[in-house]
Structure 1
Amino acid sequence: MSLGVLAAGIAVLSGIGAGVGIGIAAGKAVEAVGRQPEASGRVMTFFILGAALCETTAIYGLVMAFMLMGR
């Protein structure tokens, strides 16, 4: 196994952090809507923005893995 394959595997592990981050954010969003149902539109807007920011780390990790595998 070359070091490029190992590095690509490590780069893909960034998806774990994104999954945990989105899970926590979704839980807090549901909790906030449960407390104040009238603010659900605003809460969902911030949740979607936060989820997009969490996913960028996973996408960067995937791109880096593809770049490392392409060597």
Structure 2
Amino acid sequence: MYNLIGAGLIVIGAGLGLGKIGGSAMEAIARQPEAAGKIQTAMIIIGALVEGLAFGALILGK
């Protein structure tokens, strides 16, 4: 039971983290449009790593 609660907390944290990453990236692109490509690439890589962590938590939480 506790592993399901922990997995749920990780997934919620990952969702909040992805929202923060996206929001911060949009602010950074708005400030420096010429760096949009680098910012977007970094955002996608970090987002994929966070999402992988969330999927791992779901798989291990079963």
Superposition TM-score tier, normalisation by shorter sequence:
0.7 to 0.9
Where in structure 1 do 4 or more consecutive aligned residues deviate above 4 Å? none
Corresponding letter in the other structure for 2:60: M
Given candidates 3, 6, 24, the residue that maps to 1:7 is 3
Number of matched residues? 62
Q: What are the ranges of 5 or more consecutive residues in structure 1 without an aligned counterpart? A: 67-71
Question: For residues 6-45 of structure 1, what are the structure 2 equivalents within 5 Å?
Answer: 6-45=2-41
Task: Tell me the C-alpha RMSD between the 2 structures.
Answer: 1.4
TM-score w.r.t. the length of structure 1 is: 0.75
Identity among equivalent positions (%) equals 40
Larger Rg: 1
Q: What are the ranges of 5 or more consecutive residues in structure 2 without an aligned counterpart? A: none
